[in-house]
Amino acid sequence: MFPFMAQGHIIPFLALAFQLIKTNKYTITFVNTHKNINKLRSSLPPNSSFNLLEIPFNSSDHNLPPDTENTDSVPYNMVPNLIEATLSFKPHFSKLVSGLVSEENGQRKPLCIITGMFFGWCAEIAQEFGVFHAIFIGGGGFGFACYYSLWMNLPHRNNTDSDGFFLLPDFPEASRLHVTQLTDYLRVADHGNDAFSVVLKKVLSPWKNVDGILINTVEELDNIGLMYFRREIGRQVWPIGPVLLSTGSQARAGKELGISQDVCKNWLDSKPCSSVLYVSFGSQNTIAPSQMMELALALEASGKDFIWVVRPPVGFDINSEFKADEYLPEGFEERIKISRQGLVVHNWAPQVDILSDKSVSAFLSHCGWNSVLEALSHGVPIIGWPMAAEQFYNVKLLEEKIGVCVEVARGKSCQVKHKEIVKIIELVMDETEKGKEMKRKACEIKETIENAIKDEVNNKGSSTKAMDEFFNAALTMRESTIG
Ligand SMILES: *[C@@H]1O[C@H](CO)[C@@H](O)[C@H](O)[C@H]1NC(C)=O
Ligand SMILES: *[C@@H]1O[C@H](CO)[C@@H](O)[C@H](O)[C@H]1NC(C)=O
Ligand SMILES: *[C@@H]1O[C@H](CO)[C@@H](O)[C@H](O)[C@H]1NC(C)=O
């Protein structure tokens, strides 16, 4: 397994690795650069059977700051350099695969190579050594289909109507998108003239050469996005999700809880069934200072019980201390503490524990795919506030195609007023027609997901079957190349 060097990419790989290790059928070798391997080592259980291999990399050779090996330490405008730098891995990766193949004396050569989405170029090397190769997309099918189509075609550059709407030329089934659903770098991307679109085109094109694509999603939820990849890339696509880390493994992956699981559980236990709003924008995102004020006012005015995971707002170091007296309305934390209306959690909350609690009614989320899968697995409807990357299209899927979400705001610069937020909270959490319908849908989806991962002899779900098919394809290739 060889993921791109970003936490959002490494964590789904880790989750997939844990899932495979549990079957006792596979051994796993994780490949990455020195610093990422070190970090991984500390997030694995002490007796784990993972092999860890390093690929040589010196960021100074690639117009990057010294010792930066992960998007979390590279300034965003330099991420294209980091992606471009990965193309220099080719000879090293070739040597590494060559070593694995000969080491096993040809008898037990690697069954398959699974790489990150920017490492489609590994297909060439895998083919040379006769090893099956797939890329693994940790995000959703629909979201990444839009993302892929946008970067490959940049349709908003010359095809937008006067209101800012446009269609994806090779994906009309997605229906129209709006320019506010593009991150800044994508909005200004220009055919061949900006670093992001140049490097992304370079690394996404080789998808057409891979043996197949594993996607962290469920066939029944995401058939439009999966259809796009099957049609446009023309490769095998296996939806094997949801692949998620357990709470225990999240803790090992360096997520420091801002609240103990017991305190959280006791607070939730004191609340009525289906009464609590859970609010979190994930580990890598935050909102603007004015948005944070409006959201605080809205939560208080709604009168709903809530758990809010906070990070310093845009313009402050996201990992610095949270200053409530500066970022939140005067006396906010004090008031909600006394009234027991809300819990403000600094840093990180036990998200899966919260979403699985019967007192939780809805989730206000940035709609990163992990959060989406965790909410849907527990039948929790979503209030969407997408921030970046493909989150905008995740919301579109959830709202327009699945019907378990209402979008409340979009991005870090929109002017959202607390009264509008309150309206959406009431729409979703009160017994409105729309709210009841969303809840019913969310419960239906929960069942769909439970069925997809069933693994009984005569009753295998779609995700289990897809995983079986993937390994069968890899085995067939290995048998045909060991003569
Ligand atoms: C690793 O250790 C844990 C706890 O000590 C144990 O539950 C688990 O079975 C061990 N795993 C292996 C592969 O030995
Ligand atoms: C990386 O390259 C720079 C510049 O060539 C050099 O000074 C530095 O020692 C190298 N770092 C390592 C870890 O080799
Ligand atoms: C948009 O412009 C690009 C590059 O100039 C061109 O290749 C593409 O066909 C155009 N698309 C449309 C829909 O006009």
pLDDT tens track for 308-349: 999 999 999 888 899 999 999 999 999 999 999 999 999 888
Residue 157 amino acid letter: R
Same domain, 201 and 263: no
Rounded distance from Cα 152 to ligand 3 centre (Å): 11
Most confident of 227-231, 242-246, 343-347: 227-231
Q: Which atom of ligand 1 is nearest to the CA of 48?
A: 13
Report CA(61)–ligand 2 centroid distance (Å): 8
Q: Is residue 394 part of a domain?
A: yes
In terms of domains, do 134 and 281 share one?
no
In a domain, 226, yes or no: yes
The answer to whether the CB of 365 falls within 8 A of the CB of 372 is yes
pLDDT for residue 123 is more than 90: yes
Do 285 and 153 reside in the same domain of the chain?
A: no
Instruction: Please tell me the predicted confidence (pLDDT) of residue 249.
Output: 65
pLDDT tier, 105 (very low <50, low <70, confident <90, very high otherwise): low
Give me ligand 2 centre to Cα 59, in Å. 8
199 and 278 fall within a common domain: no
Q: What is the mean pLDDT of residues 363-381?
A: 97
**Atom of ligand 3 at shortest distance to CA of 154?**
1
Over residues 59-65, the mean pLDDT reads 96
pLDDT band at 107 (very low <50, low <70, confident <90, very high): low
Band of pLDDT at residue 45, cut at 50, 70 and 90: confident
**Do 232 and 265 sit in the same domain of this protein?**
no
Please indicate, yes or no, if residue 468 is contained in any of the structural domains: yes
Based on the domain organization, do 384 and 331 belong to the same domain? Answer: yes
CB 324 within 8 A of CB 311: no
Domains contained in the chain, number: 2
- Which residues lie with the beta carbon below 6 Å from any ligand 1 atom? 45, 47, 49
Nearest CA to ligand 1 atom 10: 47
What is the distance in A from the centroid of ligand 2 to the CA of 237? 41
**Proximal ligand: closest to the CA of 160:** 3
What proportion of the chain, given as a percentage, has pLDDT over 70?
96
Residue 76: pLDDT band (50, 70, 90) is: confident
Nearest of 271, 269, 275, 272 to residue 430 by alpha carbon: 275
162 in the same domain as 26: yes
Per-residue HEC secondary structure of 392-426 comes to: HHHHHHHHHHHCCEEECCCCCCCCCCHHHHHHHHH
State the CB neighbour count (10 A cutoff) for residue 72.
15
| Ligand with the closest atom to the CA of 66 | 2
Cis-peptide, bond into residue 242, ω within 30° of zero = yes
Tell which residue, 315, 312, 341, has the closest CA to residue 325: 312
Shared domain for 203 and 85, answered yes or no, is yes
Instruction: Give the global pTM.
Output: 0.93
Q: Hey, which of 58, 59, 62 would you mutate to test ligand 2's pocket, going by the most ligand atoms within 8 Å of its Cβ? A: 58
Distance 8 CA to ligand 1 centre (A): 26
Q: Same domain, yes or no, for 237 and 293?
A: no
Nearest to 473 by CA among 209, 112, 97: 112
Domain that holds residue 442: 258-449
Check whether residue 155 and residue 207 sit in a common domain.
yes
Amino acid occupying residue 120: G
Residue 253: predicted pLDDT? 57
Q: Tell whether 327 is covered by a domain.
A: yes
Q: Is residue 250, in this structure, part of any structural domain at all?
A: no
Of the pLDDT bands very low, low, confident and very high (cuts 50, 70, 90), residue 480 is confident
Query: Which residue among 44, 47, 50, 252 has the greatest number of ligand 1 atoms within 8 angstroms of its CB, and so is best to mutate?
Result: 47
Query: CA separation (Å) from 282 to 71, 289, 406, 469?
Result: 16, 17, 18, 33
Other residues' Cβ atoms within 10 Å of the Cβ of residue 411: 20
State whether 417 and 387 are in the same domain.
yes
* Ligand 2 interacting residues, C-beta cut-off 6 A: 58, 60
DSSP secondary structure string, 151-162? Answer: HHH-GGGT---T
Average pLDDT over residues 431-450: 97
Residues with CB under 6 A from ligand 3: 158-159, 169, 191
CA separation for the pair 425, 44 (Å, rounded): 39
CATH number at residue 445: 3.40.50.2000
Tell me how many degrees the CA angle 268-270-276 measures, rounded to the nearest 5: 45
pLDDT at 86: 97
In a domain, 249, yes or no: no
User: Residue 212: beta bridge partners?
Assistant: 134, 236
Segment 139-167, tens digit of pLDDT = 999 999 999 999 999 999 987 899 999 99
* Ligand of minimum distance to the alpha carbon of 65: 2
**Taking 60 as the threshold, does the pLDDT of residue 91 lie above it?**
yes
Based on the fold, state whether residues 284 and 162 are members of the same structural domain: no
Question: In the prediction, which pLDDT does 106 show?
Answer: 52
Residue 2 within any structural domain of the chain: no
Q: Is residue 170 part of a domain?
A: yes
What pLDDT does 193 receive?
87
Please tell me the predicted confidence (pLDDT) of residue 250: 62
**Nearest to residue 462, comparing CAs of 221, 218, 226, 242?**
218
